[in-house]
Structure 1
Amino acid sequence: MAQHNDKQHPIVPREKLDFGFDESIPKHWFGGDPFRTRFFDAMSLIFPPGEKFFMVTVRDYRDQVTDPKLLQDIKDFNRQEAQHSMVHNQYNELLRKQGMPVDELIGWLDNLLFTKYRNRFSRQYTLAITGALEHLTALGAHAMFDERDILGDAHPKVRAMYAWHAIEEVEHKGVAYDVMIDYAKVGYVRRVTALVHATVMFPRVILKFANRMLKEDGFSFWERVKLNIKGIHWLLKPGGFLWPTHKHYIQYYKPGYHPWQEADQPGYEEWLAGFNSHRDPIEASEMARAAMMR
């Protein structure tokens, strides 16, 4: 059985949120840096089909679940994921207005996940991929909001979207894993194989999407090469965006691992306090960010 502990947060679907996405958000909203902007824009494009894939793979086993708490967690997980898709689709409308090939890229990923993966792999393995991707997104959530202030140069409205998404990813990070271990009976080898698969596939898709948008921005092939070299260095260098995640990433390979063995999300309590005051996700984001900078 999956191991649980007292560090689990309640899963709270937060609906009808207003991030105020409009033309006040500049095209390169991440400090004017095209690569960093399009890297995060690529994630926004990935999330709607990705969240749908997560929900479908968990739903494959929902009828087998007998634990009342896990059934409620699955329901709340689905509500959170549906809201993530909705908000990212709202943001993606801004990308459409910029002339980005939103439908082309989302259609490509839909085909990968729902035609190729769902036809080629077992239901156990597609759920294991979901568990692995949930692990990677939770790691990204931790990296976005710590004392380094990685998103400090980002536009506050976009930063708020990713802060809210990060908080909810951490709240439901154990749901797919529990279904995978307790009901799909995914063993250790399949679980870690899926993580290796996701570790290759996830960044490949993000970079594919980011570079397609950079091309649409008008950057030549060699300009994109230079942007990628600089951007990937920012991601991987000591102190870079992904640098602190490697210690947590490898924990997934341990027998007996469970997501709730991981450290708490930086700024979680501060974000929650800020959001519960006025239900303003932008205010909550800035409160969490201020707490990390103390």
Structure 2
Amino acid sequence: MAFQSDKQHPIVPREKLDFGLNDSIPKYWFGGDPFRTRFFDAMSLIFPPGEKFFMVTVRDFRDQVTDPKLLQDIKDFNRQEAQHSMVHNQYNDLLRKQGMPVDELIAWLDNLLFTKYRSRFSRQYTLAITGALEHLTALGAHAMFDERDILGDAHPNVRAMYAWHAIEEVEHKGVAYDVMVDYAKVGYFRRVAALVHATFMFPWVIFKFANRMLKADGFSFWQRVKLNVKGLHWVLKPGGFLAPTHKHYIKYYKPGYHPWQEVDQPGYEEWLAGFNRRQDPVEASESIRSALLAH
């Protein structure tokens, strides 16, 4: 049954949070860099349909679940995912005001996930896709929270939105996995195949969306090529954005792997302490940075 760890973080739905996602946020909020900004903006567009997909694929097997703790975890997982969608939709409204093709891109992803994937693949495999994507999104904490201060040039309100999202992904990272293994009976090879699939699909969609937005910004084809070359270097170079995630990513390929075997979650305790002071997610985000920069 579900993996138990005394270091497992409780799933705490945090609702009615105010990130100050308003017109005070500049168009290129990530250090004035169009690529880095649209790279993260693409993730904000992906999350609402993606999280709806996560909830639906878990719901496919919820009626089979008998473990009371897992049933409560599924409920809290759904509440967290619903809040993520709500907050990212608030931010996506800002993108609409900038003239970004928000509805076009979300409709495209809805069609991919709910029409193509749900008609082409088994319910077990679509849940395995969810398990893989949950693994990839939980890796965000490792990319964002270390001494490199990778989001140091980002607007604090947007930085806080991604910090909160990453922290909550850490809290519920084992839920879809437990349903997948214990109730959908997804075996090793299907689980690994889904991660390979997600490893290509997820960045492909991010770059597709980012470049569509850069085009809407008025950048020419060759300008976008230059932005992407520079941006890819930032993402993939030694010490770049994804550098801390590789050793955690490959653990998913181990037979017998479970997400809660890994309990070292950078920034989690600092964020929680900051949030518990005044229930302010921006203050919580800055608590992580203060702790890291003090080292």
TM-score range, shorter chain: over 0.9
Q: Counterpart of 2:8?
A: 8
Q: Counterpart of 1:125?
A: 125
How many Å separate the matches in 2 of 1:114 and 1:243?
A: 32
Instruction: Give how far 1:244 is off.
Output: 1.3
More displaced stretch, 240-249 vs 103-112: 240-249
Instruction: Give how far 1:2 is off.
Output: 4.8
How many Å separate the matches in 2 of 1:222 and 1:285?
A: 36
- TM-score norm. by structure 2 comes to 0.98
Q: Counterpart of 2:250?
A: 250
CA displacement, residues 121-144 of structure 1 (integer Å, 9 cap, x when unaligned): 000000000000000001122211
Amino acid at match of 1:104: E
More displaced stretch, 114-123 vs 267-276: 267-276
CA displacement, residues 176-229 of structure 1 (integer Å, 9 cap, x when unaligned): 000000000000000000000000000000000000000011100000000000
- 1:146 has 2:146 as partner: yes
Map of 1:82-93 to 2, 5 A cutoff? 82-93=82-93
State the identity as a percent.
Answer: 88
How many Å separate the matches in 2 of 1:222 and 1:214?
A: 11
Q: Counterpart of 2:192?
A: 192
Map of 1:3-42 to 2, 5 A cutoff? 3-42=3-42
Map of 1:1-294 to 2, 5 A cutoff? 1-294=1-294
Amino acid at match of 1:71: L
CA displacement, residues 52-78 of structure 1 (integer Å, 9 cap, x when unaligned): 000000000000000000000000000
Which blocks of at least 5 consecutive residues in structure 1 are unaligned? none
Amino acid at match of 2:152: G
Q: Partner of 1:153: helix, strand, or coil?
A: coil
Instruction: Give how far 1:277 is off.
Output: 1.1
How many Å separate the matches in 2 of 1:285 and 1:5?
A: 26
Q: What's the C-alpha RMSD, in Å, of the aligned pairs?
A: 0.8
CA displacement, residues 117-170 of structure 1 (integer Å, 9 cap, x when unaligned): 000000000000000000000112221111111100000000000010011000
Following TM superposition, where does structure 1 have runs of at least 4 consecutive aligned residues deviating by more than 3 angstroms?
A: none
Amino acid at match of 2:267: G
How many Å separate the matches in 1 of 2:264 and 2:198?
A: 23
The answer as to whether partners of 1:138 and 1:170 remain within 8 angstroms in 2 is yes
Instruction: Give how far 1:4 is off.
Output: 2.8
Instruction: Give how far 1:5 is off.
Output: 1.9
Q: Partner of 2:139: helix, strand, or coil?
A: helix
How many Å separate the matches in 2 of 1:99 and 1:142?
A: 32
Amino acid at match of 1:208: K
CA displacement, residues 237-266 of structure 1 (integer Å, 9 cap, x when unaligned): 000000111111110000000001124221
Amino acid at match of 1:240: G
How many Å separate the matches in 1 of 2:177 and 2:13?
A: 19
The answer as to whether partners of 1:3 and 1:256 remain within 8 angstroms in 2 is no
Amino acid at match of 2:132: A
Q: Partner of 1:31: helix, strand, or coil?
A: coil
Amino acid at match of 2:24: S
The answer as to whether partners of 2:53 and 2:114 remain within 8 angstroms in 1 is yes
Amino acid at match of 1:23: D
